[in-house]
Structure 1
Amino acid sequence: MTTTNCTHAKDIKKVVLGDGPISINEVIAVARYGAEVSFTREYCNRVDESRSLIDRFLQENRVIYGVTTGFGSNVTKVISPEDAETLQRNIIRSHAVSVGEPLEKEVVRAIQLMILVNLGQGYSGVRLQVLELIASLLNHDIVPFAPGDGSVGYLSPESHMALVLIGEGKAWKDGEFIPGAVVLEKAGLAPVTLGPKEGLALISGTTSATAMAALALYNGIQAAKTADITGAMSLEVLKGTIHAFDPRSHKLKKHGEQAKTARNVSRILEGSQIIDTYKDYRLQDALSLRCIPQIHGAIKRALKDAEATIENEMNSASDNPIIYPDGADGTALMGGNFDGSFVGIYTDMMCIALANLAKITERRIDRLVNHHHSELPNFLVANPGLNNGYMVPQYTAAGLLNEIRVLTQPATIDNVPTCANQEDVISFSYFASKKAYQISKKLEYILAIELMTATQAMDFHHPLKPAPITEKVYRLIRSKVPTVKEDRFFHPDIEVIKGQIHEGELTKLVELEMGEMEF
């Protein structure tokens, strides 16, 4: 199941783990919109069976990394069964060292959900009791404090979250920031004492990188669809020629996303008097208009490739060691499934794709506000000079684009060995995903500015009528953002339009009129 053809995340009220793969939309439903989390009987059985293997391993005194040994380069230190609980508590306390501003609520919730999905595969040996407590935190809207800076791929933010499970650390509940033990008591929950393997399992794996990747991907796919709408509106009000979207041209390129994008724009603009009037106004337009199918299409291809990889990672077991049910005895497989290279490389690629979408969008904004290109009043205000109009929102888009370009520097090409060189190759997938998430949110603002300026430009085309679909988009914007006749405080306008994009109101409106947009 992909984000391109399933129920909107906001409409998913319950997410049941255990019977099949989890989708991106289900992650968003839990992380952003508070959907309830529960487990199937199959999920519970898998977890219980995996835990029974850990009990067997302990009885047989098997040497297993992180269960009867220390961690990292301390793997050579044997830990007695009597010290097993202390070992697991110590790893949580000692690894909770990320710093800086706390991760956003939806990021923390997405990570918690990824932990449940990862450990619920039945290859980690944790008790069901521990996973039920994490689900309870989600369902009681308890948000553990987790500083977001300083992770090389995993471990530290997850450790801060795990502190709450043992009655330590801090968390938010109903707007209060309170100690972990107190927040559990207020919710009628009891802390757990972590047993063998459980501390390690809670903080290992790709859960934080994958969670942020899922959030970034959802935002990115929604942004790419939105860009087809905002790009179509810009083409319309800038007297662009629809001839560049002729399907005969696009079928000659062997990239399906290009032709789909051209069809999206053509369908959005059907019935436009403005488009019909100016279809032969110039021989061909600037690239930011003429190459919408090619550039938007390439971005969508990259996002679809990232989507396949991220969904694979979401539904994989990324723990170490893997507790494998190999016959009645089982075995512990010590390996590297915690490595985040798949997620990191593809979120680095997502950064590049989203930066390209920001780039073409900012160029259209400049054409909208620049009277040398738009043939409309300068900065889209009737009395320029006395009024600045939309002069400076283009500055904002340029500033955001600069920030996005800096964030597009790949994280995964770097390497700083850790743990006394035992961990000598580091994925840095955490920051790759974090960058993609940050870029996706900045991109929403750039799209909001394009939509705001294109809507204003449409006012200068009366009495020519826009396409029925773009007219509905115009009315959606004008329901919250009135026509600019003289300068006012524009920041709230940008925020409200960004909210309409972020919540999917814009794409929902368009798809109600023309059916699902092709992706």
Structure 2
Amino acid sequence: SVILDGNSLNTETLLMMSSGNYNIEIASYAEVKVKKARKLLDDIIVENKVVYGVSTGFGNFANVVISHDNLEMLQTNLIESHCAGVGPPLSPEKTRMLLALRINVLCKGFSGISLESLTTLVDAFNASCLPWIPEQGTVGASGDLAPLAHMALGMMGKGKMWSPRSGWADARIILEANSIRPLKLKAKEGLALINGTQFIAAIGSEAVERARYIALQADVVAALTLEALQGTSRAFDAAIHGARPHKGQQAVAQRIRRLLQYGGTPSEITENHKNCPRVQDAYTLRCCAQVHGIAHDTIDFVTNILNVELNSATDNPMVLIDRGETISGGNFHGEYPAKALDYLAIGVHEIAGMSERRIERLCNPAYSNLPAFLVKDGGFNSGFMIPHCTAASLVSENKCLCHPSSVDSLSTSAGQEDHVSMGGWAARKALKVVSHVEYVVAIELLCACQAIEFHRPLKSTESLEAVHSLVRTVVPSYEKDRVHSTDIEAVTRLLPNELNTLADNCRL
């Protein structure tokens, strides 16, 4: 189980929770806060105070006062009217992350949700009862309104819901099959479920964690390429990087030094070209630490932003227990995660940009002194000609996807919500960029492993030979033309898993 309290969730744990292998428990002290916040809200309702979203309409209807008899129906109307999302649904894994994150934020005790309703959300998560949530439709300002409304709708027993046993089916049937009573919204509870940046932050958490994995792998793959191209490891000397002491740059340089056994016993391949007259390598080899390094630092920066966001109250109005009042504010605005995720896309894209250029160097005999496209009988066999084209196409797509969505804003709700973050698209495209980077690095890894074999019987370092051997457990050597796509998919699946051990061993 993962115990949620509204204060200690992080991106790594949230991604872990996407698997369906973990249950949620609410910390006892969080339950106390939730109860106190609901009691305060109920007292305010009894006193007939006018509070936004509790006894008024929403957005541009904030000045419309709602009668006491209609407060609960107001919340139902809110959820149903805000279910305006379009496009394919989130996967079960992404939906788990979104639901878990909303539960965590509600645990902070600023929302006014009842413990009964919060427990229903927890029960649904633990049973993998996951609502249909279209991925498009949020502008990321007054919260991720449309996707979170679809989440709430399913919890009310309406619309579609997914479970492992049934697949997609009627939400009420799935809840009943799991002995979960559908939500009956009390005053403010609809608003409590949809005010927040949890769509942005959940998708962004997957993006940044996968970016962390692939950035580490890219360092390992770059070292293997350097070895295959008989490059020099002197560019990674500690004295050079100590003179420009960016954290990420120094970490990448040390990682590559360890992989290449710089300062120790050189590999047979390195020893074989020690008298090579070439003084320095091309930038995609020589400047690897500098370029990969800023990607690592970007990932760390974005992780810090998201870890704050995962544990932030993003409601409007905020229920302030200690002061006995509610205050309207703007914590729902998604500019923080939106800007950070735009930055993530730009930062991690450059890893693929470097990787694609190294693929070109491996495949081009003018650069590599290896057989063209890394295959015997060139002309009869095309070798890695088209995998390089695939890498180039993905890098080109990423260049378009890296245009920051958060520089755009369209006024909504009749000018009441006159600046929005567009953070939902920032998160979705950041994840798309990361997935493209994974493919490009996988293609470079295939090429580098193939290139190393043209140096046989000479061996590389122990660590890099281990990488080569691991790849060969899922993809054989490329002796003659065959379908590439299955090899690329197999190695891409390998990257977030086994290779991590090698990358972790080379961390600072």
TM class by shorter chain equals over 0.9
Match of 1:345 among 318, 339, 351: 339
Please report how far the alpha carbon of residue 130 of structure 1 lies from its aligned counterpart in structure 2 after TM superposition. 1.9
Structure 1 match to 2:70: 83
Which runs of structure 2 are paired with 1:68-467 in the superposition (5 Å)? 68-153=55-140, 154-174=144-164, 176-270=167-261, 271-281=266-276, 282-327=278-323, 330-467=324-461
Seq. identity, %? 36
Measured in 2, the distance between the counterparts of 1:313 and 1:220 equals 18
For residue 493 of structure 1, give the secondary structure of its aligned residue in structure 2: helix
Please report how far the alpha carbon of residue 251 of structure 1 lies from its aligned counterpart in structure 2 after TM superposition. 0.5
Please report how far the alpha carbon of residue 276 of structure 1 lies from its aligned counterpart in structure 2 after TM superposition. 3.2
Measured in 2, the distance between the counterparts of 1:510 and 1:407 equals 28
Deviation string, structure 1 residues 296-320 (Cα, Å, up to 9, x no partner): 1111111111111111111111111
Measured in 2, the distance between the counterparts of 1:259 and 1:516 equals 12
Please report how far the alpha carbon of residue 104 of structure 1 lies from its aligned counterpart in structure 2 after TM superposition. 2.3
Please report how far the alpha carbon of residue 162 of structure 1 lies from its aligned counterpart in structure 2 after TM superposition. 0.9
Q: Check whether the contact 1:34–1:139 (CA below 8 A) recurs between aligned residues.
A: no
TM-score scaled by structure 2? 0.96
TM-score scaled by structure 1? 0.94
Please report how far the alpha carbon of residue 343 of structure 1 lies from its aligned counterpart in structure 2 after TM superposition. 0.5
Q: Over aligned residue pairs, what C-alpha RMSD do you find?
A: 1.3
Deviation string, structure 1 residues 486-506 (Cα, Å, up to 9, x no partner): 11111111111111113x321
Q: Check whether the contact 2:96–2:125 (CA below 8 A) recurs between aligned residues.
A: yes
Please report how far the alpha carbon of residue 476 of structure 1 lies from its aligned counterpart in structure 2 after TM superposition. 0.8
Q: Check whether the contact 2:6–2:311 (CA below 8 A) recurs between aligned residues.
A: no
* Residue 44 (str. 1) matches residue 40 (str. 2): no
For residue 415 of structure 2, give the secondary structure of its aligned residue in structure 1: coil
For residue 370 of structure 2, give the secondary structure of its aligned residue in structure 1: coil
Measured in 2, the distance between the counterparts of 1:212 and 1:347 equals 10
Q: Check whether the contact 1:242–1:279 (CA below 8 A) recurs between aligned residues.
A: no
Moved more, 265-274 or 219-228: 265-274
Q: Check whether the contact 1:240–1:279 (CA below 8 A) recurs between aligned residues.
A: no
Measured in 2, the distance between the counterparts of 1:261 and 1:510 equals 10
* Residue 505 (str. 1) matches residue 498 (str. 2): yes
Unaligned runs of 5+ in 2: none
Structure 2 match to 1:471: 465
Please report how far the alpha carbon of residue 277 of structure 1 lies from its aligned counterpart in structure 2 after TM superposition. 2.7
* Residue 28 (str. 1) matches residue 15 (str. 2): yes
- For residue 354 of structure 2, what is the amino acid of its counterpart? I
Q: Check whether the contact 1:241–1:280 (CA below 8 A) recurs between aligned residues.
A: no
Runs of 4+ in 1 over 4 A off after TM superposition: none
Measured in 1, the distance between the counterparts of 2:227 and 2:358 equals 12
For residue 330 of structure 2, give the secondary structure of its aligned residue in structure 1: coil
Please report how far the alpha carbon of residue 33 of structure 1 lies from its aligned counterpart in structure 2 after TM superposition. 5.4
Measured in 2, the distance between the counterparts of 1:243 and 1:195 equals 67
- For residue 498 of structure 1, what is the amino acid of its counterpart? T
For residue 323 of structure 1, give the secondary structure of its aligned residue in structure 2: strand
Please report how far the alpha carbon of residue 100 of structure 1 lies from its aligned counterpart in structure 2 after TM superposition. 1.0
- For residue 169 of structure 1, what is the amino acid of its counterpart? G
- For residue 225 of structure 2, what is the amino acid of its counterpart? S
Please report how far the alpha carbon of residue 127 of structure 1 lies from its aligned counterpart in structure 2 after TM superposition. 1.1
Measured in 1, the distance between the counterparts of 2:19 and 2:384 equals 32
Q: Check whether the contact 2:6–2:106 (CA below 8 A) recurs between aligned residues.
A: no
Please report how far the alpha carbon of residue 278 of structure 1 lies from its aligned counterpart in structure 2 after TM superposition. 2.8
For residue 309 of structure 1, give the secondary structure of its aligned residue in structure 2: helix
Measured in 2, the distance between the counterparts of 1:130 and 1:437 equals 31
Moved more, 173-182 or 72-81: 173-182
For residue 69 of structure 1, give the secondary structure of its aligned residue in structure 2: coil
Measured in 2, the distance between the counterparts of 1:87 and 1:30 equals 33
Please report how far the alpha carbon of residue 383 of structure 1 lies from its aligned counterpart in structure 2 after TM superposition. 1.5
Deviation string, structure 1 residues 204-240 (Cα, Å, up to 9, x no partner): 1111111111111101111111111011111010111
Q: Check whether the contact 1:320–1:333 (CA below 8 A) recurs between aligned residues.
A: yes
Deviation string, structure 1 residues 280-305 (Cα, Å, up to 9, x no partner): 52211110000001001111111111
Identify if the C-alpha distance between structure 1 residues 205 and 20 changes in structure 2 by more than 3 Å, giving closer, same or farther.
closer
- For residue 200 of structure 1, what is the amino acid of its counterpart? L
Please report how far the alpha carbon of residue 250 of structure 1 lies from its aligned counterpart in structure 2 after TM superposition. 0.7
Identify if the C-alpha distance between structure 1 residues 214 and 279 changes in structure 2 by more than 3 Å, giving closer, same or farther.
farther
Please report how far the alpha carbon of residue 466 of structure 1 lies from its aligned counterpart in structure 2 after TM superposition. 0.9
Measured in 2, the distance between the counterparts of 1:369 and 1:139 equals 50
- For residue 146 of structure 1, what is the amino acid of its counterpart? I
Please report how far the alpha carbon of residue 45 of structure 1 lies from its aligned counterpart in structure 2 after TM superposition. 1.2
- For residue 366 of structure 1, what is the amino acid of its counterpart? E
